[in-house]
Amino acid sequence: MESYVKPQHEARAKIIKAMAHPSRLFIIEELSKHERCVGELTEMIGSDASTVSKHLSVLKNAGLVTDEKRGNSIYYSLRVPCIMQFMGCVEDVLSANAKQHNAILKCCKG
């Protein structure tokens, strides 16, 4: 009966889980503009290089980004551009939340 849930939702959840981190979302958004090497992303994010590297490997394992070694550096790019379209929907949720939050404040503070 849990055949409803697995394995399709498990596979999807892995992809979505890989996106579910602020730094990884930043990376996705940045790569949607143009490819970047690890050093550039590290500087922008401000965490340890090893941390950023691990984030990239999470994204790569999920199939969200690809990497290509060129010269001394490894350049990452976004593999599936449609991901960025989703951000609009996420923003919708956020603004709906904000609206509701304001409504509650207004009603209770009078």
Partner DNA sequence: TGGCTATTTGGCTAAATGACCAAATAGCAT
Partner DNA sequence: ATGCTATTTGGTCATTTAGCCAAATAGCCA
Count of Cβ atoms closer than 10 Å to residue 97 Cβ: 10
CB-nearer residue toward DNA: 6 or 102:
6
Scanning the structure block, which residue is given the tokens 């090893």?
50
Scanning the structure block, which residue is given the tokens 């603004």?
95
The one segment of 31-39, 68-76, 84-92, 102-110 that binds a second copy by CB under 8 A = 84-92
Tokens of 33: 């503009």
Instruction: Out of 38, 45, 56, 58, name the contact with a second copy by CB under 8 A.
Output: 45
Nearest to residue 27, comparing CAs of 40, 13, 17, 14?
40
Q: How far is the CB of 53 from a second copy (least distance, A)?
A: 16
Scanning the structure block, which residue is given the tokens 């889980």?
17
Site track for a second copy across 49-78, x = CB under 8 A: -------------xxx--------------
Tokens of 62: 């999920």
Residues lying near a second copy in the complex (CB under 8 A) are found at 1-2, 4-6, 9-13, 15-17, 19-26, 29, 43-47, 62-64, 79-80, 82-83, 85-94, 96-97, 100
